[in-house]
Structure 1
Amino acid sequence: MLTRLLIVLLAILNVGVALWWLAPRAEPVAVVPPAEPGVASLEVLPSPAPGKVGPAAPVVAETQVPASAPLTAAPAPAAAAEAKPAALPPAAIAAVEAKPAENKPAEIRPPAVVQCASLGPYATQAQAQAAMSALGADAARPRLREVPGKAASSYRVLIAPAASREEAQATAKRIVEAGFSDYFIVSQGEEANAVALGQYRNREGAERRLASLTAAGFPAKLAASGTEIAPSWWVDTATAGAATPASLKQRAAAAQQQSLDCARLR
């Protein structure tokens, strides 16, 4: 009996809960507090119906103005003044015009062709040094170079041929009286009637003999047998800037200009 009673009570409870869920309910009403005097109130407009798209209605706010407050017209907004660029002084304008464009590409110039040459010959080192100084900045890596000379096969000391053999003999007599020996009179050829005073294999010995005869008052001279080339000095240099070997030759007052491999100057 008790079990049946419990079953009936549970069934009644289930039916009551189902009826409560199915019963219609009223929408909750928002309670708006009363507006205070002098404070604006807002009115919320209903949203548009689904499926209809249109411009949103503006929200109108009603402002309550206290009666005691005087009505004054709102000041009109000041019109924005049109900005005008300030005039630049003449000095600033000139500086802007003179300033080169930053994005202007740099002018590309082809590199100057470097040429090398030997300038000379100069009889002494001092002359070559003066010529190198005259080149200045137009010469790159200049240097002096000595070219050894070539000696003759022999050297002779003699007095020029006389007009006759008698005159040559008189000259020889004076030479003997002055203390000199080792002489003879040339009897034929282009040097006939000349007084020979010695033949030497090196130039130094011949120059000593010549100096002693000249000091004694005899017009002796030195004659080389064979080809003799005196030593010389040259200036080896490379061109710099716009200079050319021809312009360097002119500035150095050189008699010759010879081409030179630039690798020899490194």
Structure 2
Amino acid sequence: MLTRALIVVLVILNLGVALWWLLRGEPASEPPASPAGVAQLEVLPATQAPTTMVASPDATPALQDVTPASAPVAQPPGPVSAPATAVADTSAPRPAASLPAPAPVAAAPAAPAVPAPVTATPAPAQCVSLGPFADRAAAQAAQSRAGAVLRGAKLREVADAGATRYRVLLPPAASREAAQATVKRIVAAGVSDYYIIAQGEDTNAIALGQYRNREGADRRLAALSAAGFKATMVASGGDGSAQWWLDATLADGTGTAVARQRSGAAQQRSLECARLR
């Protein structure tokens, strides 16, 4: 009896559980939690015009549908489904509006290269000595005839035109010792070809060379003057007559032959321009 009673109780319990299971209904499923930062969609009745999206407190500003209201559309019976309008994820970056490509800029034509002006190197100055003239007046007349052909002209007198030798001397010193001290200075300046005259009227004078033409003697005088010595030139073997010469710098583009012809000189000689300064 006890066994039967337990079986009856178990059968009743099973029937009760089965009846409760059939009558309880479908359990309401909770909607999935929306991710952070995404607006939630709220379903409104079909009679309301535009759909409004309501964002959660911690989400970004909600998107609003600005489509103008239209006439309500009849909905079929049954559960109301969410509108088919897709909601864009506000967390995704918005594509930038496409801008028109800039028009290609035409390359400006290159300016033609301008050659640099060529500066002509000036020709070195050329100096000349024109003569001989019998006196100073004749030399001045020759200078006037030459005119602009000659620049910086100077008159030069040759005391003994017929001389055959020219000696370059330093004036006699007060004593032999003084002459020797002068010789030491001459050697230190790099001057060679010298000796001390021991007798005669030029005793203790220092001879610095003997030349057959005046040009060589003049060059020696110029070198000694540059070294700081005041030498003199003594001509010998002549008749004592004097001549005049015209020393000048030739104008640019002028030849020595043209200068001689313009001045009327009988001779022309090359001249160092340093002697005209």
Higher relative contact order structure (alpha carbons within 8 Å, sequence separation ≥ 6): 1
